[in-house]
Amino acid sequence: MAKHLTPGRIVLYAALVLMAIYYLLPLYVMLSTSVKTLDDIRGGNLIALPQSITFDAWSKAWSSACTGVECGGMKGFFWNSVKMAVPSVLISTLIGAVNGYVVSMWRFRGSDVLFTLLLVGCFIPFQVVLLPMARLLGELGMANTTSGLVLVHVIYGLAFTTLFFRNFFVTIPDELVKAARIDGAGFWTIFFRILLPISGPIFMVCVIWQFTQIWNDFLFGVVFAAGESQPITVALNNLVNTSTGVKEYNVDMAAAIIAALPTLFVYMVAGRYFVRGLTAGAVKG
């Protein structure tokens, strides 16, 4: 495979590198702006390197920046998002695993229809459920709470998690399960002893997908959890669009990176599964 650098190849690589710069530019601008001083930002320009590096904006973004009336930085909202995302991801993934197992390996009359009905939940615009959900959460006393958000994310995540596991389990040969049933293994035995041990990859895909979706969600957060329990995406939007006082772009950028770090980290360490989740969720959906 000796592809030498012909002029065509050089143009090809140049195009690829240019595109890479295009994708990286906003990240670079966010990072460099976040370590600049305000004077440096006003005096220099967007893509100039910082004259000196300071982490003042980062500590302000984390612990004392104002989001609306409150001035406690992103800290509290970051933990809100953690408290929201971790239980919602775990619960929706576990339920999805069992559901996917049923609709792929234990099909009964009508189960295909029921699965299709369930899938509709992947496609509806959530605007169409916001009003009744807000009312229900209010009546349950869960309006503006993190547990209310967990409930919402679990409910509307189930269609996706079921789909992921169903698409994974249908690729497993029927013989495996049939043989186990002849040996007397029941519903749960087959699930726990035979399927779970080989389901590691799909758990990764599903957990990563759900975590990215839920951490990055804005719509449910802004509608169901105003004030103290708002997730970090809502807090970031409030911080950036608060119009009082001097606009501190370095603090905005530091806060944006803080909000992006968990999902970026997941992408960096498990990008393989991330891509697989995107394509699986997409192509089959």
Near another protein in 131-190, by CB under 8 A: 131-135, 155-156, 158-159, 162, 181, 184, 186-188
Would you give the binding string for another protein spanning residues 39-58, x where CB under 8 A is met? --xx--xxx-----------
Helix (H, G, I), strand (E, B) or coil at 50: coil
* Interface with another protein: number of residues (CB under 8 A): 89
Place of tokens 């065509």: 8
Considering only residues 111-130, where is the footprint of another protein by CB under 8 A?
Answer: 111, 114, 117-118, 120-121, 123-130
- The verdict on 97 binding another protein (CB under 8 A) reads no
- The verdict on 14 binding another protein (CB under 8 A) reads no
146-169 vs 249-284: helix axis angle to the nearest 10?
A: 40
Q: How far apart are the first and last CA of the chain?
A: 38
Cβ(193)–Cβ(63) under 8 Å? no
**DSSP H helices in 35-145:** 38-43, 56-63, 75-105, 111-123, 127-139
Considering only residues 54-83, where is the footprint of another protein by CB under 8 A?
Answer: none
Helix (H, G, I), strand (E, B) or coil at 146: helix
Quick one: which of 74, 149, 259, 273 contacts another protein (CB under 8 A)? 259
In angstroms, the CA 183 to CA 238 distance is 60
Q: Which stretch binds another protein (CB under 8 A): 27-35, 56-64, 66-74, 140-148?
A: 27-35
Token code pair at residue 37: 């001083």
In angstroms, the CA 251 to CA 157 distance is 33
- The verdict on 13 binding another protein (CB under 8 A) reads yes
- The verdict on 15 binding another protein (CB under 8 A) reads yes
- The verdict on 199 binding another protein (CB under 8 A) reads no
- The verdict on 196 binding another protein (CB under 8 A) reads no
In angstroms, the CA 143 to CA 229 distance is 10
Phi and psi for 198 in degrees, rounded to 5? -105, 10
- The verdict on 1 binding another protein (CB under 8 A) reads yes
Place of tokens 């603090």: 251
Report which DSSP code applies to 53. -
- The verdict on 282 binding another protein (CB under 8 A) reads yes
Write down the least CB distance from residue 131 to another protein, Å. Answer: 6
Write down the least CB distance from residue 15 to another protein, Å. Answer: 6
- The verdict on 206 binding another protein (CB under 8 A) reads no
Write down the least CB distance from residue 31 to another protein, Å. Answer: 10
Considering only residues 209-228, where is the footprint of another protein by CB under 8 A?
Answer: 212, 215-219, 222-223
